[in-house]
Amino acid sequence: MELNGTLSGLVTRQIVTAYWLIPSEPAHSFFQRIINDLARRYDAPIFEPHVTIHVGADRADAAKNALDAARECKLIGLTPLGIDQSDEFIKTLFVQFAMSAELRKITDMIREAANDSSQYELNPHLSLLYKNLAAPTRRELSASINVPLFEVTFDAIKAVRCVSPTESGADVEAWHVVSAASLSNDRV
């Protein structure tokens, strides 16, 4: 039985382009140290700290247009709300950020420039670990990490080719940056 692109409950996997906001220093190094430590402790993949702001079709022209538009965007600051966890692989352990008008603006600009009508729902978070873990372990980890930053500044956007949905460490390790752009040094 087919339901919305799925067969018998199996999710259709496809290659997509994800657009990431990349934190500037010193936040980049702070988050990278946590990611590296957790990956080592839990035999999980290492990845670059990022906030996914859009996921759409895997088209070279879309990524180029989106990143050309991003070069016109200013640095963006996001407010961390705390550490959270879930049983979803791509949100095992993460920093949740507050939504902002500036974030919606840059996301809409990327979506429009990519000429992409995907239904990606923006939920600003920065993952710290991708691993299927028991709920008590996830809760203990989320309670043990403190983000001593009032605001995190993001100064770059990357277009990353990946499989969606991402379901394993091998999927994470196969991510491939196809292009990147720095944001303007002016603040939003």
- pTM here? 0.89
Residue 130, domain CATH: 3.90.1140.10
Cα-based angle 14, 65, 182 (whole degrees, multiple of 5)? 100
State how many domains the chain has: 1
* pLDDT one-digit tens code per residue, 89-143: 999 999 999 999 999 988 988 888 877 767 788 999 999 999 999 999 999 999 9
Cα–Cα distance between 83 and 27 in angstroms, integer?
A: 15
The residue among 112, 97, 105, 68 whose CA lies nearest residue 188 is 105
Residue 115 lies in a domain: yes
Domain that holds residue 179: 12-187
Q: Which pLDDT does position 186 carry in this prediction? A: 58
pLDDT in tens, 8-20: 456 688 999 999 9
Q: Is residue 1 part of a domain?
A: no
DSSP E strands in the chain: the ranges are: 2-3, 6-7, 14-23, 51-57, 74-78, 80-85, 93-97, 125-129, 152-164, 176-182, 184-187
pLDDT at residue 12, rounded to an integer: 83
In a domain, residue 170? The reply is yes
> Does residue 80 have a cis peptide bond before it, meaning omega lies within 30 degrees of 0?
no
